[in-house]
Structure 1
């Protein structure tokens, strides 16, 4: 089973251009409580963490980047390069972002407000949480 869950977002367009619309509980399986963008990304990996509860939908508004997802047992990767394709990332999934194009802009829709206690920033701790041997 693939860890990659891609959501194709609807495009509405006419001679003036295209529009992508995203609606909570219609296109994504959660209510949106936070939105953030990553841009001016250096050539360093991002992410490198998991969340205990938070779910996310990530997509490249512009440019491209490679995501690696890991559930503690298997790893999978995908390159995002279209603003109409979102990557659904569930809770307790380790995520890494690599290989940003110079013009990469990533938008992330999150199911929860920022809460530092929801983050798991150490991979060994993440594995312990997945196995049920850590809190």
Structure 2
């Protein structure tokens, strides 16, 4: 398997913008418009108990946009050399995570909702769930 050498610095915060009027805000995400991949899967996390974390894995090929649809949380990105902490707390900002990086989500605010847009449908074979296996994959 080809080793993906993306780094935490290849991930970026994307302003997916909001349209505001007196009736409220709307944010639109569209394939081929403001996404670098076609969305094949959408899921969201909610009611995460205080002190719990989510994620704790890497993907060989999957790209993701992670959005704090409500509330806030932190994401740790890890490329086996560098770690980067990103706080998400605006529903019009997305974290674009490229393949080959370990990620963990934690520090969820009460009532937070995490929306994830993925470039592929669920495929267990795309996951690296053990950190030591991740380090081996990265060649560390």
Unmatched 5+ residue regions in structure 2? Answer: 1-7
Report if the CA contact (8 A) 1:3-1:70 is conserved. no
SS in 2 for 1:2: helix
Matches within 5 A, 1:93-108: 93-108=101-116
Which of 33, 37, 41 is 2:40 aligned to? Answer: 33
RMSD, matched Cα: 1.4
Which of 1, 5, 15 is 2:12 aligned to? Answer: 5
Report if the CA contact (8 A) 2:66-2:116 is conserved. yes
Unmatched 5+ residue regions in structure 1? Answer: none
- Deviation of the 1:2 alpha carbon: 3.0
Misfit runs of 4+, over 6 Å: none
**TM-score (normalizing by structure 1):** 0.93
SS in 1 for 2:44: strand
Corresponding residue pairs, total: 132
**TM-score (normalizing by structure 2):** 0.90
Residue 3 of structure 2 is matched in structure 1 by none
